Amino acid sequence: MQLSKPKTLVLGAGAWGTALALTLVRNGTSRVSLWGRDENVMAEISAQRVNRKYLPGIVLPDELEITTGENIAADVDVIVAATPFQTLRPVLKLILPQLSELRCIVCAGKGIEKDTFLRADQIVAELVPPDVEFAILSGPNFAVEVAEQRPAATTIATSSQQWGDELVRRFHSDAFRPYSSSDVIGVSIGGALKNVMAIAAGIADGLDLGANSRAALVTRGLAEITRFGLAQGGKLETFMGLSGLGDLILTCTDDKSRNRRFGLRLSAGLNAAQARQEIGLVEGVTTAAAVLEFSDQQHIDLPISREIANTVCGRTTPRQAVKNLLSRDPVAESAGLIAPHN
């Protein structure tokens, strides 16, 4: 008797969750279910086979199961959590009691939990038994391009070689190439802090500071991400890879990035509330505040993140933030990259 395929549950029916569910279905290595909170929205997606709000025009195959509430099959062995990062904990608390065969949780969101300052792996460790493996998926990926099957690459990091190989197998397709990594910390931090730098890039471009300024910002932003990541135990080479430099370049230079567009709106004179109302979810706003508070406790200097956090909360203006960064005392370029301070 032929064994049935394993089952993957994707949490979050936004653009990224839907795109990842499509990738898994197209690959055909597991049965796939897409879960969302809103019963009416999920019923519409199921009936029309289109996610009109987030991926209009992309037809969802019949093989993709649409579910909501507690209507979840117990035989799910892998969760892919693609919900907004700050909802990761409550969503998992809702879903986990329904699953009896869970073996691995993959976080596809990017951020640092406010108040606790925890990464995704630390949040998950508080919620599941030790035998449930954790992985994080992060890279230079815009959801719409992945859904349209345009070529893309990403990183899947986990401490388990077995699960790293299995997750690569489930996600790998002709248009989507995952690379494995064991650096969960580095991949998590690269994905989180690049959103903060994208806000800064949007501000710089909105103020028409020029290409030189953008290049300097991306480079120094990478140094800041690396400094913070190394202090937490990440590996230097991770920040030079897809989930570090690759994701940073993508979000700082293309207007598909909500964080970059948020920065553009701030530079145009909107306050944070007005910009968020126009754009929607901006993960870098919460991440900037959380990372800054945590870094102050750890005595790690993050000048760009500090200025972004101060700008978002109205303590400074975009132009003053630029002046503050340029007026810092000169240092050697490599100063502080490995040590906490620069």
Task: Say how many residues make up the chain.
Answer: 342
Active site residues: 194
Write the secondary structure of the chain as one string of H (helix), E (strand) and C (coil). Answer: CCCCCCEEEEECCCHHHHHHHHHHHHHCCCEEEEEECCHHHHHHHHHHCEECCCEEEEECCCCCEEEECCCCCCCEEEEEECCCHHHHHHHHHHHHHHCCCCCEEEECCCCCCCCCCCCHHHHHHCCCCCCCEEEEEECCCCHHHHHCCCCEEEEEEECCHHHHHHHHHHHCCCCEEEEEECCHHHHHHHHHHHHHHHHHHHHHHHCCCCHHHHHHHHHHHHHHHHHHHHHHCCCHHHHCCHHHHHHHHHHHHCCCCHHHHHHHHHHCCCCHHHHHHHHCCCHHHHHHHHHHHHHHHHCCCCHHHHHHHHHHCCCCCHHHHHHHHHCCCCCCCCCCCCCCCC
User: Looking at the structure, do residues 110 and 247 belong to the same domain, yes or no?
Assistant: no
Q: Which residues pair with 135 in a beta bridge?
A: 106, 158
Residue 269 shares a structural domain with residue 144: no
Is 75 within the bounds of a domain?
yes
Do residue 178 and residue 197 come from a single domain? no
Which domain-ending residue is among 156, 182, 208? Answer: 182
Tell me the whole-structure pTM to 2 decimals: 0.94
pLDDT of 336:
63
Both 220 and 141 in a single domain?
no
**What gap in Å lies between CA 60 and CA 223, rounded to an integer?**
40
Q: Same structural domain for residues 221 and 156?
A: no
Q: Which residues span the domain enclosing 215?
A: 191-326
- pLDDT given for residue 12 in this prediction: 97
pLDDT, residue 337, reads 60
Per-residue pLDDT of 235-251, as tens digits, reads 999 999 999 999 999 99
Mean pLDDT in runs of 10 for the chain (342 residues)?
77 98 95 95 96 96 92 90 97 94 97 96 97 98 98 98 97 97 98 98 97 96 97 97 98 97 98 96 95 92 96 96 93 67 42
Residues 224 and 157 in one domain: no
Q: What is the CATH number of the domain that holds 48?
A: 3.40.50.720
Tokens representing residue 332 in the block: 């050697």
pLDDT score at 342: 42
Q: What is the pLDDT of residue 329?
A: 87
Tell whether 174 and 284 lie within a shared domain.
no
User: For residue 337, is it within any domain?
Assistant: no
Query: Are 167 and 46 found together in one domain?
Result: yes
pLDDT value of position 339 = 46
Residue 147 lies in a domain: yes
Same domain, 16 and 123: yes
Residues 201-247: tens digit of each pLDDT: 999 999 999 999 999 999 999 999 999 999 999 999 999 999 999 99
Specify whether 155 is located in the same domain as 280. no
